C-alpha cells in the first residue's frame, strides 16, 4: 500500500512530463533567484577578473619577450595545486596587418610563457574577427599572477581592439580566470 506522497513520486518518475504544478512553480522561483546557467557543461567558478580595458593595444613584437600584455596589472590568485584554471579573454576584435602572419596570444603566468591560448591569421591583410579565447593552465600550489601576452609571428602589426562601450564605441576588453 502506498501513501499519497509515494504515489506522486512514482507518477513523476514514471512520466517526467507529469510534473506537479508545485514543482514547476518552485523551478520558476529558483531560476528567478539563482539565474539559469547558459552552459550546463561549464562548472567553473570565476575567481578573478580584470577591470574593463578601454584602450586598444598594438604590438610589433615577434616573441613572447617583446610582446605586450593585455592587462596593465596582472590578475592575482592562489592555486590549490590540484586544479586547472580557465583564462577567458573577450573583446570586440583582434586584427593582423598582414595576411601571411598571425597575431598570437599566450598565457603569461608569473611573468613566464605558459603556452599559446589563441591566435589569428587573416585571409586578407587587416582582417579582424571578434576576440573570444579560452585557455587552460594548471599551476603549482601557491600565489600566482596571470596575464595574456600578445605578439606577432613575423614582420607585421597585431592589434586587440577595446573601447569604453556605449552607442558608437567599441566594447571593453575583459580577462577573467575561473577554477574548474
User: What per-residue confidence (pLDDT) applies to 36?
Assistant: 47
Is residue 101 located within the same domain as residue 22?
Answer: no
Q: Is residue 39 part of a domain?
A: no
**Average pLDDT for the chain:** 85
User: Sorting pLDDT into bands at 50, 70 and 90, what band is 119?
Assistant: very high
Q: Which cell is 89 given?
A: 579573454
Domain count, the chain: 2
Q: Which cell is 91 given?
A: 573583446
**Domain extent for 16:** 4-34
Q: Is residue 40 part of a domain?
A: no
Site of grid cell 528567478: 32
pLDDT digits (tens, 9 = 90+) for 1-60: 555 655 655 555 555 555 556 655 555 555 555 554 444 445 668 889 999 999 999 999
Question: What pTM does this model have?
Answer: 0.75
Query: Any idea of the CA torsion for 52, 55, 56, 58, to the nearest 10 degrees?
Result: -120
Q: What is the per-residue DSSP string for 41-63? A: T---EEEEEPPPB-S-EEE---S
Amino acid at each position: 500500500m502506498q501513501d499519497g506522497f509515494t504515489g506522486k513520486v512514482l507518477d513523476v518518475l514514471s512520466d517526467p512530463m507529469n510534473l506537479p504544478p508545485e514543482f514547476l512553480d518552485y523551478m520558476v522561483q529558483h531560476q528567478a533567484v539563482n539565474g539559469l546557467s547558459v552552459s550546463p557543461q561549464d562548472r567553473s567558478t570565476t575567481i578573478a577578473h580584470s577591470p574593463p580595458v578601454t584602450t586598444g593595444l598594438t604590438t610589433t613584437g615577434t616573441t613572447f619577450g617583446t610582446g605586450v600584455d593585455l592587462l596593465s596589472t596582472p590578475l592575482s590568485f592562489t592555486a590549490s595545486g590540484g586544479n586547472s584554471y580557465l583564462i577567458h579573454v573577450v573583446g570586440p576584435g583582434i586584427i593582423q596587418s598582414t595576411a601571411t602572419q598571425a597575431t598570437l596570444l599566450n598565457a603569461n603566468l608569473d611573468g613566464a610563457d605558459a603556452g599559446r591560448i589563441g591566435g589569428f591569421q587573416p585571409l586578407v591583410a587587416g582582417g579582424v574577427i571578434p576576440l573570444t579565447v579560452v585557455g587552460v593552465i594548471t599551476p603549482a600550489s601557491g600565489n600566482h599572477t596571470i596575464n595574456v601576452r600578445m605578439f606577432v609571428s613575423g614582420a607585421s602589426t597585431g592589434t586587440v581592439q577595446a573601447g569604453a562601450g556605449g552607442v558608437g564605441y567599441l566594447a571593453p576588453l575583459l580577462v577573467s580566470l575561473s577554477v574548474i
